[in-house]
Amino acid sequence: MKILMFLSLIARSSQLLLSECGSEARRPLLTDISVTCGTSSIGLAVQICPVIYTGYNETLLILNQMMDPTCKGTLDESVSPPVARFNFPLNMTHACGSTFMTSSAAGTGPFSDFSNIQTVNISGVIRSSDLTIGTITYNTELKYYYSCAYPLEYLVNNTQIDVSASSIAIKDNNGSFISTLNMEIFSDANYTTPMVIPQLGIELRTSVYVQVKATNLTGQYHVLLDRCYASISPLPSNSTFFNLFVPCSKDKFTTMVENGDSQTSRFHFPAFRFIEQQNETVSSYYLHCITRLCEISTCSIFKQCNNRRKRNTLDADPGVTQTYTITSGRIITKADSKAESIEKPIVGAQKGGDNNSSAGLGVAVGVLAFVCVIALIVAAVFYKRLRY
């Protein structure tokens, strides 16, 4: 049955002839494969001319020994040199036989507060299928190994990863889910109305609703916010900052709505001012969130404090740099004009309080003395009348 399937594949063999390959008709090289580590799928491209030169075609390149038609390569002659393309989703049950391996290590740099940072490695091999029947063969066996490593922790912007590959064709490439993540702020509890910041800022204590969401992300991961904070500068390492929440601790005015339960995390907090900007008309700052992508089965583990290193909410974070930062738009809060109008007469009354008290006392003494004099005069008049 297997031989019949291969014969069927040969019948649909490549239309490309070796004579059409020109200078690309050569022996295979280590650089003959390219790997695209996408956010929802992995793409592989193998130069086809060296494959034809060796005696095979795209139908005889088998991905992870999977005979599923959706896993087979297709010839692309629209590029130069032409390639055989493979594409499969990042899903453990439909990844064309790829191997998923998750590893953990202690966090470093901006993630130094976390003891368990995960990376998922997705790997496999494309092999040539030799149809020679007999004891020996004169055909070279082709092996194209691929590997994509994705970190599962982000300080919502961009981060560096390592990818390994090996054997006959090697391609180092970066894979990242960071492009699927975005942060938005809303003005309503339903997270439907984007918050518009007026030029003079929003009122203090206005509720700011924050959402970090993944789009076009493979379904096996949820979004878990590990830490979110505000800083005066978009470069948090160079300015004053305030933690809205950190592992196992949060500010008393921050409310978590959803975290680690889906591909959306939400929280809200009342708008505040930085005291450092007290002499300015408005206070402006930026939001930053360290975001973890956790496999659905492990999200609950990362919610437990014993898997994290608890930190003081006032601790500095010198490891954060602009290289790792994505922020919300600038949040601007204005001074509470009503509060100022109330405070001014109170302050004025306090300054003049002593003088007003002295004046009042003098008036009271004068009135009392006048009453006493009148009483004496009246008493004297009645006394004289009674004598006569």
331 or 89, which is more confident: 89
- For the beta sheet containing 181-186, the strands, ordered from the edge strand earlier in sequence to the opposite edge, are 181-186, 207-214, 264-270, 255-258
362 or 356, which is more confident: 362
Q: Which amino acid is at 145?
A: Y
- In whole angstroms, what is the distance from residue 84 CA to residue 62 CA? 11
Q: What is the DSSP string of 208-263?
A: EEEEEEE-S--TTEEEEEEEEEEESSSSGGGS-EEEEEETTEE-TT-EEEE-SSSS
Share of the chain above pLDDT 70, in %: 70
pLDDT in tens, 63-80: 999 999 999 999 999 998
Q: How confident is the model at residue 174 (pLDDT cuts 50, 70, 90)?
A: low
Q: Which two tokens stand for residue 98?
A: 């790829």
Of 288-302, 340-354, 363-377, the least confident: 340-354
Instruction: Kindly report whether the peptide bond that precedes residue 81 is cis, defined as omega within 30 degrees of 0.
Output: yes
pLDDT in tens, 311-359: 433 333 332 222 223 456 677 777 655 444 333 333 333 334 444 444 5
Give the pLDDT of residue 14: 52
Looking at the structure, give the CATH architecture of the domain made up of residues 180-338.
Sandwich (2.60)
Of 53-57, 210-214, 215-219, 326-330, the least confident: 326-330
CATH 3.40.640.10 fits 2-176, yes or no: no
Question: Pairing state of beta strands 282-295 and 153-155?
Answer: antiparallel
Q: Which two tokens stand for residue 45?
A: 């491209």
3-state secondary structure of 137: coil
Task: Report how far Cα 249 is from the mean position of its chain's Cα atoms.
Answer: 19
Give the pLDDT of residue 215: 86
Q: Which of 199, 93, 221 is nearest to 152 (CA)?
A: 221
Tell me the average pLDDT of the chain. 75
pLDDT in tens, 31-63: 899 999 998 899 999 999 999 988 888 999 999
Q: How confident is the model at residue 368 (pLDDT cuts 50, 70, 90)?
A: low
Give the pLDDT of residue 309: 45
- For the beta sheet containing 33-37, the strands, ordered from the edge strand earlier in sequence to the opposite edge, are 33-37, 41-47, 83-89, 74-76
pLDDT in tens, 94-152: 899 999 998 888 877 777 777 778 889 999 999 998 888 877 677 788 999 999 999 88
Q: Which residues of the chain does CATH 2.60.40.3210 include?
A: 2-176
Name the maximum alpha-carbon separation found in the chain: 162
Give the pLDDT of residue 125: 94
Residues 6+ apart with CB under 8 A from 381: none
Cα R_g (the chain), whole angstroms: 37
Residues 6+ apart with CB under 8 A from 356: none
Q: Which residues of the chain does CATH 2.60.40.4100 include?
A: 180-338
Contact 117, 107 (CB under 8 A): yes
- In whole angstroms, what is the distance from residue 376 CA to residue 61 CA? 127
pLDDT in tens, 226-280: 889 988 887 766 678 889 988 778 888 999 999 999 999 999 999 888 888 877 8
